[in-house]
């Protein structure tokens, strides 16, 4: 098992009201990634992903596209220390 990584992303654009959070949860669960996703008051979506480096990178890449109906304008990504989260949730 490789070392776990953690990335926080803020996704901007037309990303609320298009099932971004639910689709993100399903994508994360399919990849075995833990963390959370939440709508922000400024219209962006924020998410934290923890897991295997390749799986987390795939989630960050997915955020650049989002679900059908989303219009992603940009993704800000930062690295953080993993906290050992055990599941993925919508907040």
Q: Where are the domains of the chain?
A: 5-90
Cβ pair 5, 50 in contact under 8 A = yes
pLDDT at 1: 54
In the residue annotation, 26 being an active-site residue is answered as no
Q: Which of 7, 21, 25, 31 is catalytic?
A: 21
For the stretch 6-21, pLDDT in tens is 999 999 999 999 999 9
pLDDT band at residue 77 under the 50/70/90 scheme = very high
Residue 58 has pLDDT above 90, yes or no: yes
Fold type of domain 5-90: Alpha-Beta Plaits (3.30.70)
Mean pLDDT, range 32-39, rounded to an integer: 98
Cα dist. 89→31, 73, 74 in Å? 14, 24, 22
Residue 83 has pLDDT above 60, yes or no: yes
Q: Which of 7, 12, 29, 39 is catalytic?
A: 39
Mean pLDDT, range 12-38, rounded to an integer: 98
In the residue annotation, 29 being an active-site residue is answered as no
């Amino acid at each position: 098992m490789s070392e776990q990584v953690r990335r926080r992303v803020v996704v901007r654009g037309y990303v609320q009201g298009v099932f971004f959070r639910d689709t993100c949860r399903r994508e994360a669960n399919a990849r075995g990634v833990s963390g959370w996703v939440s709508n922000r008051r400024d219209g962006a979506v924020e998410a934290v992903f923890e897991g295997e480096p390749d799986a987390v990178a795939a989630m960050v890449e997915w955020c650049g596209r989002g679900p059908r109906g989303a219009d992603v304008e940009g993704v800000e990504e930062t690295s953080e220390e993993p906290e050992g989260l055990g599941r993925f949730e919508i907040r």
